Amino acid sequence: MKKISITIALLSLPLLANIQLSNNGFPSLTITNKITSVKEDFSFSIQDSNSSSFYYSNFPSNTVPDSIFSRLNNDDFPEDDIAIISSSFHKKNMNTSSLLSSFIGKKIQYKIHSNEDSYIPIVSLGTLVSVYPLLITPVGSDKTFFVKQEDLIFPSIPSDLISTPTMSWKTNPLEVGKYTLTAKYLINNIQWKSRYSLSFSSDTTGILSSFIDIYNNTNKSFINADVKCLAGNINYQKTSVPRIYKHRSMESPVAMDSISGISISAIPSNGFHVYSIPNKIDIWKNSTTNAVVFKSNVLLKKSLSASYNIQSLFFGNRKQFDIKFAQLATISAMDLNKPLPSGKVYIYDQTNKNMFLGTHSLANTPKNKDAIINYGENFDVTGKVSILDFDKERYVYNPTSSKNRFNGWKYSGTYKISILNSSDKKHIIKLDLTNGFTPRNFISSSNCDDGCESGFDFKGTYYKFTIPANSKFEITSRFDIFQ
């Protein structure tokens, strides 16, 4: 049996309008946390006064169709807008299946490999009968053969198939001259994130570096682009658009370009912060581009922190639980004086050959707020909270008032905090113990003194103290909660 195979030959996009536009090569992008705004200018000349329609065939496939706004001007009269009668956005609808289906029942060339050792196939003509399975009937034959995709030869691409997303515009006939068409639109799948590197140079100093990473997961590159990254959570409502066709992209980011030696300052704007990259950059399709924002020496204040709800000790069989402390490095807002957009912080120890210590997810931090970095759980400082006694009894709230009299509960108890520092360093400890109640009144007392700071409110009690190296620290606390 003869071996038959098919090769697909894709031709150029059919003309949807009279004049094909090309951009000026200097697009502007504003990248937010949810969507990206793009502005492109297209310059063209009119040689024939009957010209009235134009198209641009390099729109990203994930353009938001109802976000496209256009403006047309004569270069000699840039302030006067020319009316655009209509505009249309044409999504890509060409794939292997649609291309093959458009030739069912039509004659098409295909290659016949008559000999396994032959490198020159025979080109024959037949009628495409079916796509799934792929069948063809040779001209002058009543037999139908199975064929393969890789050797089919198409005479042309049908005019109703579009290989790239295309925008077309129609106007009244324009006079001979030079014109500029500006298009603004929104696209998905371009995002930016902040990324940080914090290197400890000592227990009290470090180096904080900030970067911007731009992820372009679209099918379009933006060359010589003016880029702004907007920090903050914008309001954006997605528009529900009827589904016209199915399209899946199997591409993913594979490349990374780096822009070094750039210092980018945040400029407040309408409640957000704007990071403008000072030089025009190339953002290639399916790639990641990064830029340096700043690199600063910072003062650090290291401490250990823990927060627990102790209500479970009052009700149930559990009488104690262990305390584990998070290691915190606080960067003073007064020292840094820079806003920090949310992003991942990578922590290193510069004193130990830049050893990696962990990561922290930083939330949006204004310039007047300390940045608190959590880089893991301390190995050497441990503790426990134990309940010594607990009781509850009925009480009368506001007994002198007949209207506001209320029978409630009084919870009384004593607990002990034991902290053990097995390291050769002293540590600053901050411990928050919430009680889980919503009390009408709260009374607390403890032996937290001599360098131990404490405070309480309706939610619970906090303790702050310094524990010396290789030592043990204990606090006993008494409480009365009226609920």
Q: In this predicted structure, what is the pLDDT of residue 468? A: 94
What element of type H or E holds 336? helix 333-336
pLDDT computed for residue 62 by the predictor: 84
How many Å separate Cα 145 from the centre of its chain?
50
Tens digits of per-residue pLDDT, 337-382? 888 989 999 999 999 999 999 999 999 898 889 999 999 999 999 9
Give the β-pairing of 53-56 and 84-90: unpaired
> Mind listing the pLDDT tens digit for each residue in 160-184?
666 677 888 888 888 888 999 999 9
Return the bridge partners of 372, or none.
330
Q: What is the pLDDT of residues 116-151, one digit of tens each?
A: 665 677 788 888 888 888 888 888 888 888 888 777
What does the pLDDT average to over 71-80?
Answer: 89
Q: Is 271 left (phi over 0), alpha (psi -120 to 50) or beta?
A: left
Average pLDDT for residues 455-482, to the nearest whole number?
86
How many Å apart are CA 153 and CA 156, to the nearest integer? 9
* Alpha carbon separation from 172 to 87, 92, 296 (Å, rounded): 13, 27, 58
Pick from 196, 201, 208: nearest CA to 354: 201
Nearest CA among 209, 337, 335 for reference residue 263: 209
- The Cβ of residue 39 has, within 10 Å, a number of other Cβ atoms equal to 15
Give pTM, 2 decimals.
0.70
Distances (CA, A) of 314 to 113, 266, 389, 412, 463: 84, 50, 9, 10, 20
Sign of CA dihedral 437, 442, 447, 450: positive
SS3 category, 138: strand
So what's the pLDDT on residue 254?
A: 32
CB–CB of 291/261 below 8 Å?
no
What does the alpha-carbon distance between residue 374 and residue 31 come to, in Å, rounded to a whole number? Answer: 28
